[in-house]
Structure 1
């Protein structure tokens, strides 16, 4: 797994993957919901959410500056906290596979909105299939495709921003206006809570550490660069979304409603394809690789049958990708509620984040050589203080999100965590788990 300067993913590809993973259709749908609870101060709420999200994912920046991992976050959790915790974390992370079907279905919905003759489910299956094929052709090919789509994504969102800035209503930045902080501090923080977890997906680029040319430098910078990109894009989009029309006309509405009033029909179509559809496409494209990485390494370590981890000539774990494809397509074909399935695993992922951060905090002690050879330099006392703040930020966001949790979701979350821990314990005791070293320090 040695570093190859002439091949692999560079800073441009990694940034494109990080930005594509974090910029999803959520920015199109969530802005209107956030406007509904905080009015024109939505852009401040988005900026706050991005900064809070950055605190949540900062441990991954420090992690990726210390070691290079094969299996994404699963690898270092196993290395630092032990086999059982690693197995439990890995299973929780692989639940993200269910999101691929939701991305495809959302793409079908947007395509149907501009081309009503298209069937939503047919488009969803076609899109899920297309990006599955692309990922079967290997990471390098997938990354090149991602670069092209990311360009169209930025052009689409930029079109909305540029046109919108020429149609702003007076008082857009008047903080004393009654249209700012419409529900006071509670409304503002509810908006931040609504938005924060749509601002952390760039950390998933850690999964591409194996293919990076200079992982300890480029992966952290890709996360930072993607955060800067969404800080600019999201706040500007929120300014336009809340500043063109009266608040009561945009509260709870997607960006497409604002775009219709701003753009001619051809430009509107260009925005929908370049904005929300490309946002979903880039996320779906990278998700296959991101979510298959821990699963692949877990098959090598014995948590699942080893045959599942076999790769093709492009080094893509084709059997795992086939499994992911089935998980994505079946709910679409069977008319199951993918959004309900996805929401039932999101909270599990948030709890898994806490486990990952604890692992990062212990990393300097367990792997002192990794700490000594880190790319980003800071003293241990500063490191521990910063990591403690990041852990508090994560717990704070989780606790706030629990206010809106349903009883069913709470029960499902608890049951899943128990099942994962029991399975990890039994599998380890069976003697079938043989963890391999899936990281390197240089």
Structure 2
């Protein structure tokens, strides 16, 4: 073991490895055609706007009622600590490689095309399901707001097509003639904003973040006086089977809340549109995570102090709290702030997903439609429209109960890969300048750099993934194959997409093949070259 770096290890794989160089990435970053307009404050607000959303507005109630009770505050801390290690890894990679595409681009540089495709496909699952879950929560608060004014939409237009059977613990589903119209409409409105331009979207996001944070702070100020300390006892409810309460319930809730922090990752996808990405992107990533953790803890404490935790398994837990407080005007403000605020979350997530699609399409692994930049708006307009339509349909048909587990599984997988990429990069390219470096250091063991921060990040990702997988298996054994079937179908579709399309249309693959052909051409007999030329 040693603290000093040895001679840099070079990647294995020989000439068959499809791996981007730093020079290629830098050249692509300068020729992407996107507008560099985002400042550090806008990136920070993008992260805050994306993080503060479904976690506090929707999933806090479900996680507390089903798994953790008042100890949901410990779940928030566990999830935040795990995310912090990953955020630090994102900060190092984003400052070293200021490119769009986030973890996908980092993997392409370090581990090659196949791993990059795997990471990109997982990220698309992460963002896609996150968008759907947030839009479902937005629909719940919007319906609650409409009901406050006496407007009631029919149930067939307020619920998803697929719904869990009440009392089945997620092991049974029902399908019916239902379509979440508000959720569908909200996704299409955000899609239109993203098509128009990132600068306009950033201005909209700034206003929305200011509004929703202000409403949440007002809820905190008004709610402190309504806290009943008896609602915090027992702080850790006695354990029940299937991760309900107790110590296992805390970790199960932490796994569920893990995805609510994933908005900070959206900041890294904006590197190509940041004015000073090596400085501003790490500020946006780490700063938004720290700010939102403090706000999450305060809101969870007040919410659980006002409402008994078993009454919070609803789509609009803050609205339930304001009803108990007896302030109708506050209920209207909270519902309005949640409805509009979740629009900002949806905006940030869909922005991030559209930029990942843009980068993958630019590399040729998916159709070029997703890489086309509109000449007027200077955004990937066509790809964003396709993305918006897919997410809108998913929102209208899939329930949030399934979505939360799927998105958390995608998030933890992507985070683990990001942490591993830092280790890989430090091992193979220790000489690369890194404006921001992960703290806590590391050691060299048999030519491999083992960093404390990335290893802890991978450990937390594993701990968050385990209860999610066990929960999917439990649902499968109970007669509900939908969650694990959706995950399996998605993974198989990813393999087929790369095998049947991506590897043949890869820009890097074609460039390497051309280079190989150019190298072997001089060795070709003159008569063979003449025949080939004649055929052409």
For normalisation by structure 2, the TM-score amounts to: 0.72
Aligned to 1:440: none
Say if 2:37 is the partner of 1:8: yes
Aligned to 1:152: 211
Q: Which of 291, 294, 299 is 1:237 aligned to? A: 299
Deviations for 1:28-80, whole angstroms, at most 9, x for unmatched residues?
Answer: 23222333343333323322322223234432122113220122221111111
Structure 2 CA distance for aligned equivalents of residues 90 and 340 of structure 1: 24
Aligned to 2:94: 64
Please give the secondary structure, in 1, of the residue aligned with 2:227: coil
Q: CA 1:268–1:373 in 2, change beyond 3 Å: closer, same or farther?
A: same
Structure 2 CA distance for aligned equivalents of residues 210 and 429 of structure 1: 25
Deviations for 1:160-186, whole angstroms, at most 9, x for unmatched residues?
Answer: 11111122224678xxxx421112323
Deviations for 1:131-152, whole angstroms, at most 9, x for unmatched residues?
Answer: 1121112111111110000001
Structure 2 CA distance for aligned equivalents of residues 59 and 67 of structure 1: 12
The structure showing larger relative contact order (alpha-carbon pairs under 8 Å, at least 6 residues apart) is 1
Q: Which stretch of structure 1 is more off in the superposition, 264-273 or 28-37? A: 28-37
Please give the secondary structure, in 2, of the residue aligned with 1:374: coil
Aligned to 1:133: 192
Aligned to 2:74: 44
Is the 8 Å Cα contact of residues 42 and 202 (structure 2) preserved in structure 1? yes
Aligned to 2:24: none
> Which runs of at least 4 in structure 1 moved beyond 6 Å after TM superposition?
none
Aligned to 1:374: 435
Q: Which of 447, 452, 455 is 1:385 aligned to? A: 452
Say if 2:328 is the partner of 1:265: yes
Structure 2 CA distance for aligned equivalents of residues 166 and 213 of structure 1: 44
User: How much has 1:126 moved relative to structure 2?
Assistant: 3.4
Is the 8 Å Cα contact of residues 216 and 374 (structure 1) preserved in structure 2? yes
User: How much has 1:245 moved relative to structure 2?
Assistant: 4.2
Q: Which of 404, 427, 430 is 2:504 aligned to? A: 430
Aligned to 2:51: 22
Say if 2:180 is the partner of 1:180: no
Please give the secondary structure, in 2, of the residue aligned with 1:430: helix
User: How much has 1:249 moved relative to structure 2?
Assistant: 4.8
Structure 1 CA distance for aligned equivalents of residues 313 and 139 of structure 2: 24
Aligned to 2:143: 112
Is the 8 Å Cα contact of residues 90 and 294 (structure 1) preserved in structure 2? yes
Structure 2 CA distance for aligned equivalents of residues 243 and 196 of structure 1: 22
Structure 2 CA distance for aligned equivalents of residues 75 and 436 of structure 1: 18
Structure 2 CA distance for aligned equivalents of residues 50 and 305 of structure 1: 37
Q: Which of 219, 225, 229 is 1:166 aligned to? A: 225
Q: Which of 392, 411, 416 is 2:490 aligned to? A: 416
User: How much has 1:240 moved relative to structure 2?
Assistant: 0.7
Is the 8 Å Cα contact of residues 98 and 278 (structure 2) preserved in structure 1? yes
Say if 2:286 is the partner of 1:224: yes
Please give the secondary structure, in 2, of the residue aligned with 1:41: helix
User: How much has 1:90 moved relative to structure 2?
Assistant: 1.6
Deviations for 1:8-47, whole angstroms, at most 9, x for unmatched residues?
Answer: 2112100111011111123123222333343333323322
Structure 2 CA distance for aligned equivalents of residues 268 and 114 of structure 1: 8
Is the 8 Å Cα contact of residues 61 and 309 (structure 2) preserved in structure 1? no
Q: CA 1:93–1:435 in 2, change beyond 3 Å: closer, same or farther?
A: farther
Q: CA 1:246–1:127 in 2, change beyond 3 Å: closer, same or farther?
A: closer
Aligned to 1:123: 182
User: How much has 1:88 moved relative to structure 2?
Assistant: 2.5
Say if 2:427 is the partner of 1:398: no
Q: Which stretch of structure 1 is more off in the superposition, 107-116 or 251-260? A: 251-260
Q: CA 1:235–1:17 in 2, change beyond 3 Å: closer, same or farther?
A: same
Q: Which runs of 5+ in 2 are unaligned?
A: 1-28, 159-179, 239-245, 444-448, 512-536
Say if 2:326 is the partner of 1:279: no
Q: CA 1:306–1:221 in 2, change beyond 3 Å: closer, same or farther?
A: same
Is the 8 Å Cα contact of residues 86 and 418 (structure 2) preserved in structure 1? no
Aligned to 2:398: 337
Q: Which of 55, 62, 66 is 1:33 aligned to? A: 62
For the pair shown, the structure with the greater C-alpha radius of gyration is 2
User: How much has 1:404 moved relative to structure 2?
Assistant: 0.9
Q: Which of 237, 248, 252 is 1:190 aligned to? A: 252
Structure 1 CA distance for aligned equivalents of residues 185 and 505 of structure 2: 42
Q: Number of aligned pairs?
A: 427
Q: CA 1:44–1:345 in 2, change beyond 3 Å: closer, same or farther?
A: closer
